[in-house]
């Protein structure tokens, strides 16, 4: 087996953090906590409800970059939770089942599959006594996140591997009619769609989407499918991504001075300027989707909202941040977190995000055309990460070809 993984080795993690901040060329050397094993023996299925998958391809996302740069903060709520020594990169995958355990009922050899549950919960560890959240399909809220796996010594692999083994219930079928190229977009599309279904906008809302990477562009399209009777602005500096957002349904680009533009577009007050160019105005958008994350994005997002507006918190960097919370209490804002995907309750159905999204892609309601812009071989994963960190204007979704 060939696989890319992150090792929880504190000295190496500290060296990776140092390189990320002060000497980025060192990231691409052996000091990095992310490693590539090329000749591991294939592991046996550890239990009857596991399967083996031959990967075809897998997308690269911000989480993979976070591991490569070791950006998780010691002040993050994630830090005190005990984790596995090894975290295998890649979860936006498409693969084919090559072996099934004796207790597997829902998958057969030859089925195309993708990873549905990726975070360390009941359905990825193979725990027998599943928590209430995992039983109902909301696997990202698993209360057993810190419980050790009974198979902790396994090198399982994941999306950035030529093959991997996995508990069957952590996977989802890939629908007939969906190409392999479309399939690597299923998981990021689920994030975007879940972000909108988490709290569906009302008719007539004025909405701002901050950041037009893969998720932000997906959010634009999902808004227009789920609640077409609203107006959508995007905040994005790259002209190519602005144009793509308009193609996917955005109505306007927020351009120029963002405070002046937001006030004018939403009928807000005069923009007031204080010390050190500190700006604020009254009024603003009904809803903001922050698909960027971090100090600047959070401060900006809450200042773009009108009184009792809603911030949909999508972008994040797995560390504590500092932002101006004044508008939150002053304007009685609502902040709603978004964690990947799970079980949706939409139009009278309880349905996994993975199934709903595949229906939309298959039936032509949601388009993933144009999202995948670059391909790299698994052996060239460092080049792929380097491109992702440079983030030139023509990059949207980078895909790792695993064979």
| CA atoms of 208 and 254, how far apart (whole Å) | 9
* β-pair partners for 273: 279
Query: Tens of pLDDT along 106-145?
Result: 999 999 999 999 988 999 999 989 999 999 999 999 999 9
What tokens does 318 get? 């797995």
What tokens does 133 get? 């959240």
Question: Using DSSP, how many helices (H) and how many strands (E) does the chain show?
Answer: 13, 20
| CA atoms of 375 and 383, how far apart (whole Å) | 10
Length of the chain: 403
Is the separation of the CB atoms in 61 and 218 below 8 Å? no
| CA atoms of 12 and 334, how far apart (whole Å) | 40
Query: Tens of pLDDT along 77-99?
Result: 888 888 778 899 999 999 999 99
Element (H, E) at 327: helix 326-330
The tens place of each residue's pLDDT in the chain, 403 residues long, gives 999 999 988 899 999 989 998 988 899 999 999 999 999 999 999 999 999 999 999 999 999 999 999 988 788 888 888 877 889 999 999 999 999 999 999 999 999 999 999 988 999 999 989 999 999 999 999 999 999 888 878 899 999 999 999 999 999 999 999 999 999 999 999 999 999 999 999 999 999 999 999 999 999 999 999 999 999 999 999 999 999 999 999 999 999 999 999 999 999 999 999 999 999 999 999 999 999 999 999 999 999 999 999 999 999 888 889 999 999 999 999 999 999 999 999 999 999 999 999 999 999 999 999 999 999 999 999 999 999 999 999 999 999 999 8
CA distances from 375 to 57, 64, 384, 387, 390 (A): 9, 16, 8, 11, 16
What tokens does 388 get? 């992702």
The sheet carrying 3-7 orders its strands as 34-37, 3-7, 86-88
- pLDDT value for 397: 98
- pLDDT value for 80: 86
- With H, G, I as helix, E, B as strand and everything else as coil, classify residue 400: strand
Contacts of 177 (CB under 8 A, 6+ apart): 362
Count CB neighbours of 153 within 10 A: 11
Beta strands in 193-313 (DSSP E): 206-210, 231-235, 252-253, 272-273, 279-280, 285-290, 305-313
| CA atoms of 236 and 240, how far apart (whole Å) | 10
Phi and psi at residue 345, in whole multiples of 5°?
-120, 95
Domains of the chain, earliest start first: 3-185+368-401 (3.90.180.10), 191-337 (3.40.50.720)
Average pLDDT, the chain: 95
Percent of the chain with pLDDT over 70: 100
R_g of the chain, CA atoms, integer Å = 21
Element (H, E) at 381: helix 381-390
CA distances from 125 to 79, 102, 147, 151, 283 (A): 19, 18, 9, 7, 47
Nearest to 40 by CA among 2, 7, 86, 87: 2
| CA atoms of 120 and 146, how far apart (whole Å) | 8
- With H, G, I as helix, E, B as strand and everything else as coil, classify residue 94: strand
| CA atoms of 258 and 52, how far apart (whole Å) | 50
Contacts of 372 (CB under 8 A, 6+ apart): 59, 181, 184, 185, 396, 397, 399
Q: Which residue has the tokens 């306007």?
A: 252
CA 232 to chain centre: 21
Phi and psi at residue 305, in whole multiples of 5°?
-95, 145
- pLDDT value for 32: 94
Handedness of CA 215, 217, 222, 223 (dihedral sign): positive
Q: Which residue has the tokens 């993975």?
A: 354
What tokens does 308 get? 């009792």
């Amino acid at each position: 087996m060939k696989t890319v993984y992150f090792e929880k080795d504190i000295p190496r993690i500290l060296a990776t953090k140092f390189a990320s901040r002060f000497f980025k060329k060192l990231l691409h050397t052996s000091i990095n906590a992310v490693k590539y094993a090329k000749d591991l023996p294939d592991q046996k299925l550890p239990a009857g409800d596991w399967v083996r998958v031959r990967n075809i391809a897998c997308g690269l996302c911000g989480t993979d970059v976070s591991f490569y740069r070791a950006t998780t903060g010691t002040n993050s709520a994630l830090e005190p939770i005990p984790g596995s020594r090894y975290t295998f990169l890649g979860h936006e995958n498409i693969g084919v089942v090559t072996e099934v355990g004796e207790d597997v009922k829902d998958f057969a050899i030859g089925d195309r599959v993708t990873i549905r549950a990726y975070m360390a919960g009941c359905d990825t560890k193979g725990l027998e006594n599943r928590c209430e959240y995992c039983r109902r399909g909301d696997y990202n809220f698993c209360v057993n996140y810190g419980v050790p796996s009974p198979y902790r010594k396994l090198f399982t692999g994941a999306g950035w591997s030529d093959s991997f083994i996995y508990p069957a219930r952590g996977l989802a079928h890939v629908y007939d009619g969906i190409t392999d190229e479309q399939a690597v977009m299923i998981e990021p599309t689920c994030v975007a769609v879940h972000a909108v279904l988490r709290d569906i906008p009302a008719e007539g809302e004025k909405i701002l989407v901050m950041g037009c990477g893969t998720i932000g562009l997906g959010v634009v399209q999902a808004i227009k499918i789920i609640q077409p009777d609203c107006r959508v602005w995007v905040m994005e500096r790259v002209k190519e991504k602005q144009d793509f957002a308009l193609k996917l349904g955005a109505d306007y680009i927020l351009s120029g001075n963002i405070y002046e533009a937001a006030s004018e577009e939403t009928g807000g007050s005069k923009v007031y300027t204080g010390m050190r160019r500190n700006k604020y105005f009254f009024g603003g958008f009904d809803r903001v989707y922050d698909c960027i994350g971090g100090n600047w994005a959070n401060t900006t997002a809450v200042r773009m909202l009108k009184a009792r507006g809603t911030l949909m918190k999508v972008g994040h960097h797995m560390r504590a941040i500092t932002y101006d919370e004044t508008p939150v209490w002053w304007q009685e804002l609502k902040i709603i977190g978004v964690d990947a995907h799970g079980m949706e309750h939409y139009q009278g159905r309880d349905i996994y995000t993975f199934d709903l999204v595949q229906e939309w892609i298959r039936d032509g309601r949601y388009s993933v055309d144009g999202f995948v812009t670059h391909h790299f071989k698994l052996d060239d994963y460092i080049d792929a990460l380097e491109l992702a960190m440079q983030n030139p204007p023509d990059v949207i979704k980078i895909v790792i070809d695993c064979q």
